[in-house]
């Protein structure tokens, strides 16, 4: 290499890396770092709890369980299903939040924006009150159906008019639908105390006592949602530039929004099946990821999928420790853990930069 004319003798100018290569390096480092964080969170979820389990029982309970040993029985019956529930639900919620914020271009959007949580809640209340379904693995599937129906209604209403499903119309339709469904749900609960007693344990969001059968029933839906969501990075990047620019780049804006909304319903509905409606994970996780690695959705999506379960599992561990000998529901802890940094984020007015 020939030195530059104005370079000091003996010095050879360095070649700068292209910006695209720098972004890939940063994104890949972020994925690897969050993967390490997730492994630590899984380890804590398995090893730490309100009760004391020796580390030898933790190890043997994973790889060579003996159900006659109390510690290993706890691992098999409680901690492994609980950790699996947090892993699946957290990944689904983190991805769903990133997708809905990208497709609506709304930094305050979460899966509840499309009426998903309200639809799930109304369907669960209906199943318990009208159909007498009291088992969690029965009425929880009504929550999945209710989430899908509510999101379909919201998208249909938001698509009316010449402009189609714009972010503002989707947000307004979602809020209106959520308000109507919440009023219906409240009216039923006020008239039926038995339904309220069953519903309130599901509504708060929890990983306690999750049946492994329910987790594996929801796993295929989460798997499909993850695969579809991870392919949307380039399309969401185009939408971030505005609808007109996205169309100019050859993107089918209406189809992207439809696929994205369906993916959010699939992920959030399945997460609700596993853990109930848990707030703040889908809202906070994408913001944290964008602060870490930038706004490229090709990296925001996989990193949100890793950070979501880490936040959920760590929050669950905190809930086990701060309320000994009892436990605090993970939905309450995520709200407390997520609210503080999000308030700081808003006060510093960094939303526009994200």
Q: Give per-residue pLDDT as tens, 23-32.
A: 567 778 888 9
SS3 at position 8: coil
Report, as an integer, the average pLDDT of 135-139. Answer: 70
| Chain segment 50-82, per-residue pLDDT in tens | 677 778 778 877 887 777 777 778 888 788 888
| Span of 109-118, 225-234, 272-281 with lowest mean pLDDT | 109-118
Strand segments, DSSP code E, in 204-256 are: none
pLDDT for residue 259 is more than 60: yes
Who contacts 266 (Cβ-Cβ below 8 Å, separation ≥6)? 221, 222, 224, 225, 228
pLDDT for residue 8 is more than 50: no
The tally of CA atoms less than 13 A away on the side-chain side of residue 352 is 3
∠ CA(130), CA(132), CA(137), 5° rounding? Answer: 120
pLDDT at 24: 64
The rounded percent of the chain whose pLDDT value lies above 70 is 85
- CA gap 234, 240 in Å, rounded: 10
pLDDT at 99: 92
* pLDDT confidence tier of residue 5, bands split at 50, 70 and 90: very low
* pLDDT confidence tier of residue 347, bands split at 50, 70 and 90: low
pLDDT at 103: 86
Contact 95, 311 (CB under 8 A): no
- CA gap 278, 275 in Å, rounded: 7
- CA gap 271, 126 in Å, rounded: 20
What angle, rounded to 10 degrees, do the helices at 297-322 and 281-293 form?
130
Domains of the chain with bracketed CATH: 88-353 (1.10.3470.10)
pTM: 0.82
pLDDT at 351: 46
∠ CA(320), CA(324), CA(329), 5° rounding? Answer: 40
- CA gap 167, 236 in Å, rounded: 13
| Residue 1 in tokens | 């290499």
Report, as an integer, the average pLDDT of 231-244. Answer: 86
| Span of 95-104, 165-174, 339-348 with lowest mean pLDDT | 339-348
| Span of 185-189, 198-202, 206-210, 271-275 with lowest mean pLDDT | 198-202
pLDDT at 137: 67
- CA gap 195, 139 in Å, rounded: 11
Report, as an integer, the average pLDDT of 248-276. Answer: 84
Report, as an integer, the average pLDDT of 267-276. Answer: 84
pLDDT for residue 354 is more than 90: no
For residue 266, what are the CA distances in angstroms to 18, 95, 98, 171, 208? 38, 11, 14, 19, 23
SS3 at position 68: coil
* pLDDT confidence tier of residue 16, bands split at 50, 70 and 90: low
CB count, 10 Å around CB of 156? 11
| Residue 95 in tokens | 């991805």
Phi-psi bin for 284: left (phi > 0), alpha (psi -120 to 50), beta? alpha
* pLDDT confidence tier of residue 225, bands split at 50, 70 and 90: very high
Average pLDDT value over all residues in the chain: 80
| Residue 123 in tokens | 């369907």
Dihedral sign (CA 146, 149, 151, 157): negative
Higher-confidence residue of 225 and 115: namely 225
Report, as an integer, the average pLDDT of 309-326. Answer: 86
């Amino acid at each position: 290499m020939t030195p530059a004319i104005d370079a000091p003798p003996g010095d050879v100018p360095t070649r700068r890396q292209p910006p695209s290569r720098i972004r890939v390096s940063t994104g890949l480092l972020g994925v690897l770092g969050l993967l390490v964080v997730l492994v630590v969170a899984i380890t804590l979820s398995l090893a730490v709890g309100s009760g004391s389990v020796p580390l030898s029982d933790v190890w043997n309970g994973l790889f060579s369980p003996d159900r006659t040993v109390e510690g290993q029985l706890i691992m098999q019956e409680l901690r492994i299903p609980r950790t699996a529930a947090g892993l699946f639900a957290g990944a689904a919620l983190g991805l769903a939040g990133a997708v809905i914020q990208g497709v609506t271009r709304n930094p305050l959007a979460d899966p509840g924006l499309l009426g998903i949580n309200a639809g799930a809640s109304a369907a669960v209340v209906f199943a318990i009150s009208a159909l007498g379904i009291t088992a969690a693995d029965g009425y929880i599937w009504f929550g999945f159906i209710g989430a899908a129906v509510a999101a379909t209604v919201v998208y249909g209403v938001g698509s009316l008019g010449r402009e189609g499903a714009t972010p503002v119309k989707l947000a307004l339709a979602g809020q209106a639908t959520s308000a109507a469904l919440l009023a219906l749900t409240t009216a039923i609960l006020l008239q039926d105390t038995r339904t309220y007693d069953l519903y309130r344990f599901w509504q708060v969001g929890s990983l306690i006592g999750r049946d492994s059968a329910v987790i594996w029933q929801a796993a295929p839906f989460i798997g499909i949602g993850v695969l579809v969501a991870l392919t949307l990075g380039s399309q969401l990047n185009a939408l971030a530039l505005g609808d007109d620019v996205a169309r100019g780049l050859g993107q089918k804006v209406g189809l992207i929004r439809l696929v994205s909304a369906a993916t959010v319903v699939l992920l959030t509905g399945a997460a609700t099946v596993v853990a109930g409606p848990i707030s703040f994970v889908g809202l906070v996780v994408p913001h944290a990821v964008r602060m870490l690695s930038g706004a490229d959705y090709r990296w925001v999506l996989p990193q949100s999928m890793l950070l979501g379960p880490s936040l959920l599992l760590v929050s669950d561990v905190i809930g086990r420790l701060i309320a000994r000998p009892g436990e605090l529901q993970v939905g309450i802890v995520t709200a407390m853990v997520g609210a503080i940094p999000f308030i700081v984020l808003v006060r510093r007015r960094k939303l526009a930069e994200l």
